[in-house]
Chains A and B, each alone.
Chain A
Amino acid sequence: MEYPVQSGFRQRKIQPEVRMRGAPVDPGDPRLLFDDTSAGGIGHRQALLSDPVSNLAMVYGSSLASHGREMMDQNLDRFIPISKLKYYFAVDTVYVGKKLGLLVFPYMHDNWEVSYQQDTPVAPRFDINAPDLYIPVMGFITYILVAGLALGTQNRFSPEILGIQASSALVWLIIEVLAVLLSLYLVTVNTDLTTIDLVAFSGYKYVGMIVGVIAGLLFGRMGYHLSLLWCCVSIFVFTIRTLRLKILSEAAAEGRLVRGAKNQLRMYLTMAIAAAQPVFMYWLTFHLVR
């Protein structure tokens, strides 16, 4: 069993576990009582060898643990690319503030291009147009909590409701991302939109939903409807302006009129994705405000 070098305080916490496992209560067998629990190298192993069963068990257990951890790391890296995810979380407070402002008021912003640095997109910290995952994740969790709060003020709260809201919102998110992926595939668009980008763009609508529900809690149904309307229009404009650059061809994105069925189809696709956002926003919040 390995003893990592830590502060003495912590090391003593590790020791008792080894002692309890390695020293069974057996007054008749003296060797077991003198189990060596010091951090010495070879002497330690010699003591363990005196009881082959416990030694075997301990070696097997530690090898199993380290093997399990390696396997988990490898497999986790295959399914969830950790380094790619880290890019989406490289944000700071200034970026988040500006992005939230952009989500609610996208009309004054001019340049929607994502800047690149030698073929790799720049981290969100340095480019406001880059998608990130911090806002969608926090927005999702905040939405669930605000839903719990709204149901609580109507005396319909119980902790199970949080789980129900969370799972239904998650399912709708997955359905939306899959639908967008499917339609992008069918239209055969050559785009560099990754799945994580789509999750990020779909997650931005939670900000509008939260604003609407909080306005509904503070100002009643009229406040809810007005703020939700404002946020729906803003997210519509935001989505169109962002996705236009990614899905449409270069010329059409610059605003020049380009004829052709392909570009028309792509334009319809962009508008469909953008129009789906307000629909989801209303669908997921109307039952929270009475």
Chain B
Amino acid sequence: MTRKFCCYFLTRSSSPGRLTVLLAMSGFDKLDADFYQSSFSVDDQNQGGGGYSNTDVQYSNPYGQYDYSQPMGYSAAPGIMQPQQPYTGQIFQPTPAFTPASTQSMYSSSFEDEPPLLEELGINFDHIWQKTLTVLHPLKAADGSIMNETDLAGPMVFCLAFGATLLFTGKIQFGYVYGISAIGCLGMYCLLNLMSMTGVSFGCVASVLGYCLLPMIILSSFGVLFSLQGMLGIILTAAIIGWCSFSASKIIISALAMDGQQLLVAYPCALLYGVFALISVF
């Protein structure tokens, strides 16, 4: 049972780094997050495994076939799989570590191995915070590589927060916020693909534009306190639009290495954020 369990881990992983970690089976939370996908799949089988303890007898034969076919499969694949060959002999070493109780071993060890929920969902608060700081400091030079991961969790949160602050002023316009952001992202995607040498992916554009929506939330929360249609409101709106578009263009320019085009990129961003400002002011 536990032998099958370890062979199962062997089939899961695809890099020697993970296997060494498997053998160690401790302190894995410090290591590469790629590891977690293996243990997550263990969870997955347990979700359907209400009758797990009853049916593990049935597992033996088909799983045994599965298990023995793996090394052949891996040896046929070049490169990646070859370093795993020497590990096949050692894979059964950790089996003694997996025996609290035979029927419950899978369940309890997988529960301990379970990674935190946020990491499974791919929400990395540290990166989100870094990107937020980049937006909030428009005069600081941006690092072009931070936008390589297309993370839409932060932008979603910001859109919801924007809609919520609009709600406080009595305007129920979530639909317009989402619609305009979708159209705006599509427009920016087309424009940036036409203007830059290298292309961009839609997720990258959506992520950058979503993060730079953060100052707009500040504007709409001011709109809760006082009406933005006066002179002070107009000045504040103009300043916030400038802030949003400046930081968005700064990040895009550094990510795509476009020279002499920062103002040209900042202008459509300013138009997009101007539409959001139109919604929050009027």
Contact = CB atoms under 8 A, between A and B. Distances in A.
B66 A141 contact: no
Interface stretch (B20-28, B85-93, B214-222, B270-278): B270-278
B74 A42 contact: yes
B20 to A, nearest CB: 16
A39 B275 contact: no
Interface in B248-282: 259-264, 267-268, 271, 274-275, 278-279, 281-282
B194 A25 contact: no
B80 interface: yes
A75 interface: no
Interface in A1-54: 7-13, 15-16, 19, 23-28, 30-43, 46-47, 50
Contact of A30 (B37, B59, B122): B59
A96 interface: yes
Q: How large is the interface on A (under 10, 10 to 19, 20 to 34, 35 or more residues)?
A: 35 or more
A138 interface: yes
A157 interface: yes
B37 A15 contact: yes
Nearest to A97: B263
Contacts of B81: 40-41
Interface residues of B, number: 64
A128 interface: no
Given A12-B33, A37-B37, A43-B70, A138 B271 contact: yes
A37 B41 contact: yes
A12 B14 contact: no
Interface in B11-39: 11-14, 32-34, 36-38
B52 interface: yes
B282 A157 contact: yes
Given A10-B122, A89-B191, A92-B260, A34 B63 contact: yes
Interface string B42-75: 0011011111100100110011001001100110
Interface string B103-131: 00000000000000001101010010000
B66 A50 contact: yes
A38 B32 CA distance: 15
A127 B277 CA distance: 36
A33 B48 contact: yes
Contacts of B149: 7, 9-10
Given A30-B58, A93-B262, A8 B34 contact: yes
Contacts of B76: 42
Given A13-B122, A26-B48, A19 B195 contact: no
Nearest to A142: B271
A27 B48 contact: yes
A141 B268 contact: yes
A43 B34 contact: no
Contact of A138 (B12, B40, B268): B268
A10 B204 CA distance: 13
B226 interface: no
Contacts of A82: 194
B95 interface: no
Contact of A37 (B12, B33, B195): B12
Nearest to B175: A159
Contacts of B271: 138, 141-142, 145
B148 interface: yes
B77 interface: yes
Nearest to A151: B282
Given A27-B49, A38-B12, A89-B191, A8 B59 contact: no
Nearest to A45: B73
Contacts of B70: 43, 46
Contact of B73 (A10, A46, A162): A46
A47 B66 contact: yes
Interface in A123-177: 134, 137-138, 141-142, 145, 148-149, 152, 157, 159, 162
Contacts of B259: 92
Contacts of B263: 93, 96
A89 B194 contact: yes
A33 B45 contact: yes
A-B complex: 3 closest residue pairs judged by Cβ atoms: A33-B45, A8-B34, A92-B260
16 contacts: A24-B48, A27-B52, A30-B55, A30-B59, A30-B63, A35-B44, A36-B11, A38-B13, A40-B11, A40-B14, A41-B80, A42-B73, A82-B194, A92-B259, A93-B264, A134-B195
Interface of A: 7-13, 15-16, 19, 23-28, 30-43, 46-47, 50, 82, 85-86, 89-94, 96, 134, 137-138, 141-142, 145, 148-149, 152, 157, 159, 162
